[in-house]
């Protein structure tokens, strides 16, 4: 997997973790100990690489018959900033460290 695909994989895993926190019942659909492969419906090249990577990982898995599930992300909301209450200052404030 190349660097761009690794970054995408990390982003999808982060978002999937957030999704599971907000929708814990979805986790019940995942078999215990399964390898979850996150796919992106909008990015066939990435998805093909993720499938290939997961198949290669199975060759050295310590659990030879580990279940594999594929989770296809069909839509993602736009990325939004979490920053709130910003202000522009002309000189940096004096921060004191306790």
pLDDT tens-digit profile of 25-53? 999 999 999 999 999 999 999 999 999 99
Q: What is the pLDDT of residue 64?
A: 82
Q: Where are the beta strands (DSSP E) in 10-80?
A: 35-40, 68-73
Distance of CA 78 to the CA centre of its chain: 15
* Residue 2 vs residues 19, 45, 48, 53: alpha-carbon distances, Å: 25, 11, 12, 11
- Regions of the chain with pLDDT less than 50: none
pTM of this prediction? 0.76
Separation between Cα atoms, residue 97 and residue 3, nearest integer Å: 38
């Amino acid at each position: 997997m190349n660097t761009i695909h690794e970054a995408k994989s990390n982003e999808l895993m982060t978002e999937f973790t957030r999704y599971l926190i907000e929708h814990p019942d979805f986790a019940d659909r995942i078999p215990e100990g399964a390898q979850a492969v996150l796919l992106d419906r909008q990015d066939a090249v990435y998805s093909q690489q993720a499938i290939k990577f997961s198949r290669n990982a199975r060759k050295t898995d310590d659990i030879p018959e580990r279940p594999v599930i594929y989770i296809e992300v069909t839509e993602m909301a736009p990325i939004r900033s979490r920053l709130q209450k910003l202000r522009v200052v002309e000189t940096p404030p004096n921060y004191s460290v306790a």
